[in-house]
Structure 1
Amino acid sequence: MLITALLVAPSAAAQPPFRLSTYITDDAGALNGAGRAAIASATGKLYSDRRVQLWVVFVDDFSGQPAVSWAQNTRSASDLGDFDAVLAVATVDHSYAFLVPNRVKTISAGQVDDLRRNQIEPALRRGDWSGAAVAAANGLDRGPAPTSSAPLLIGLGVILAAVIALYVVMRYRHRRRRAAELAAAKRVDATDADALAALSLGALDDLSRWKVVDVDNAVRTSANELALAVEEFGQQRTQPFSSAVDSAKAALAQAFTVRQQLDDAIPETREQRRELLTEVIVSAARADRELESQREAFEEMRDLVVNAPSRLDALTQQIVDLTARIEPSEQRMTELHNEFDSAALASVATNVTTAKDRLAFADQNLSRARDLAAKPVGGEQSALVDAVHAAESALGQARSLLDAVDGAANDIRHAVATLPTLIADIHAGLGHADATLQDGKKTKTPNLRDLVAARDAAARALDTARSSGSADPLGSFTALTNANAELNRLLAIVAEEQATAERLNRTLEQALFTAQSRVHAVSEYIDNRRGSIGPEARTRLAEANRQLEAAQDKRSDAVSEAITHANNAARLAAQAQSLAEGDVQSAQRAYAGRYGGGDNMGAMMGGIIIGDMLSGGMRGGFGGGWGPTSFGGSSGSFDGGFMGGGGRF
């Protein structure tokens, strides 16, 4: 809003506020013909450019009233609107007021003050009455003025020519940009809808078109390969691959259905189109992933048939090598029984016998596989695959059984040697767990229930080891090791949680102290200067108090939330302090400009007495007459309508 008033009253020497009848009123006889014409030209241009009216009035004095109050009262008596500015000058009393409504957005409060101090006041001091009014009008007429239609048409013609000249380049750049966006989109996980949300609508559209074509090709190729595989290996062996192709076809069909919806004549909103494009891409990508999940197994099955002779030779050599280990393993078991109790060898007692069985089973399957591999390609490949896989599994188990026998002596000796240390370690861990559980109850640390379970399991393993550890040292060692690992894992987790809780509590105390200090300080500042503080600072302070209360309410059960509220309170209090200091500075300038200081300034700043010296001198401004402060409601005198102010010259 802009309101500028130049008030000129009729010929009375002491002129009270009155209704203005014209834009230029000269009751002081300050203007000559040229001066009045200059003002009329400047104010006319201001209205033509900005639709802002400047009312100028010259009188001898303001009948004993402060300049701003006189201008406001005259403005009110004249029924001026939200875009009417007033410049009022008392030529004999050397006082003036320049008021601009806040609704005028083409000029800021700082610019109005600069205009008042650096152009209007210097002209008034020189007695250049018309120059002051012209400066006010020109100062309000800021920014570019409207242009005639002819230059506009010329400009549009230039723009059109430039658009035509750049059309080819723009299309080229557009294609390159879309290509780059598509390349980047292809690197995104197409099954992740959240990742796709970061892409532009154009990139989604391009990616969906490319994806359905690419995956459709993959599905068609896989279906053809599957048909050949079914002939070779049969329906049962190829069932996982058939399921993958069927699932991929279903997902791809869904993608094509949605793509058709996008391509039909019914338009979608941008949000609907983005949702549908994302559905197309995700469906196609899942179809692709379904096929890819079976690719390696499919290729392995095909390779096994192609390379069957060499693979069977390698498996035969493994049977020979493992058979050679049987007799040494039997001797090792005899030695172990002489050295250890039978209970300590329970885990490996039947390993050699079981290994013999696995070798016999592997030999049978290898013989069958050789017979099948010698036959022509047909429906027997599935049986060949099964025989080879069975032989491989049996040989793997036989090897593992014999390896356990070889390592049993070392493992049992190691368990016997380290069992006492492990028992002591678990005993200490149980004490640590009990202490941790006590502390955890105070801080409400998570995972306490899991720690209790781990402690009880470790205690049971310890009791078992003490009672039967000598009979089965390896078994006891294994049980204690597992229990100790789980106990230590939970202890580490709970310890970290307790440390985090302690750090959060310290952070909360610091945040609360900071917030309380800042809120208290700004509250005291406003209370002692309430006569000059506007609503913004008070609003920030009220919200800071609310955030501080929320922090205190949350401190016992939601520490992180309490910290956030406390930090918000401190931030809002700092904003309130800054706004309050700005209000005080504006009020001081307004009071000094109007009254030149005085004994009453401190009382007015503190709200002990209330006057109109702040109208236009601070954010929002105050109005009304002098009066003592008292308990009760607001005075209703706050007026937040004007920029500018007044003073002496």
Structure 2
Amino acid sequence: MAGFWGRRKREREELDAQDADLARNAQRALVEADERIRVTTDELAFAEAELGAGPTTELRDALEAVRTHLAEAFHLHQLNHDEIPDTPEESRTRNARIVQLCAWADELLDDRTEALAEPIERARRAPEIIAGVRRDAEGLRSRIPQARDTVARLAQRYSADALGQVADNPAEADQLLRFAEHSADVAERRRDAGQREQANVALETATEAARRAATLVDAVEAFEIEALRAESTLAAIVEDSRGDLVTARSAPQTPAVAEAMAALQSALAALPSPGAKTDPFGDLTRLRDANTALDAAIAAAEEKARRVIPDLAHVRHSIDDADRQLHVARDVIAGHRGWIGADARTRLAEADRVRQDLDRLLGGSAATAPDIPEDDREQALALSRRAAFLAGESLQLAQRDIDSSRPPGGPDQWNGGWGGPPRGPRGGRGGGDLMGGILGGLVIGGLLDGMFD
């Protein structure tokens, strides 16, 4: 007993120590959260001065939410120290809630202030950024005449379709630079007028316009290099395509291979003659697509040649067998509807579904289809076998249900209760014996023997 009470005392002491730590944590969290609100309020004022009211809306809303929930935390702390005695459980629950509310407040304010850190830093550097936009615009404008000369020189070698992606770049870049400089001027004036939010929007616009102008000018210079690479690759593809056409002559000559060969020959014939303006990008795309299509057609033809195509008579025999088994299974289940469970019915429904898939594959009734294309025979054989297998399972499950549903006592006792005909004067059923046997499922075994012979 002394050991028991000693253990209980130690447990109470440990719990009291934990409660004391929790209370100290709650008090510390309250002080830190209150100070964080005061600091963030100052940061909000600074952010509004730099960015305006619009971009700081989320931080302002977060502060309001934190003040509301921190008021709840202070109220809980007051309840822990009022004149009304509290149980340890009540104090523990309140302190845990205080810690939770303060942690949530700190996390929310961290998230909102971090989101504003980059815009604020950018706003502080606004004069530097404006000067950079003007400097970049001046440098890019000096490159525009060279870009125009480059486009003119390329127009003598490449077609209008090829140059369509860069022909207007110099003019568009010049317009963007003028817009960037105008936006920089607007940003500077709005900032001087204290309209920081509008100034920041104008500054973002100026920066983006200058960036897009630089991309357009760079694209003109990069076009010539990319065009030369495309021409080099095109020459290699032409040589490869001619070799593929030679190889294709020894491949299995299916309609798909013949069509792909004709398409590749047409793509080769459509290439411009020497000295003509070219579109190396378009020519390369068309020739590569035709070359890839021929490779795919040859691979499919060779795969088909390696694959054994089922004999048409064999496929038709499999379809007939599936139809026969389906017919027997339907008749047996229809004749014993009260005895057949869900498993047998499910297998029959699935067999019917697979059989319908076979009809859809062949575009009509598989049983009366005049021909089955070689490409479809393998799948038709698989579907018919699957349908036959499911129908056979359905029949076996139906036989199981029928056997388990027979009344006890043997055939001599099967009278009256199962709705069979009355016994004859000598105890027999006479002509009703055969009908009773069929209804009772006694001939199912014979049917199964015939089906799985």
TM range (shorter): 0.3 to 0.5
| TM-score under structure 1 length normalisation | 0.31
Structure with higher helix content: 2
* Structure showing greater Rg: 1
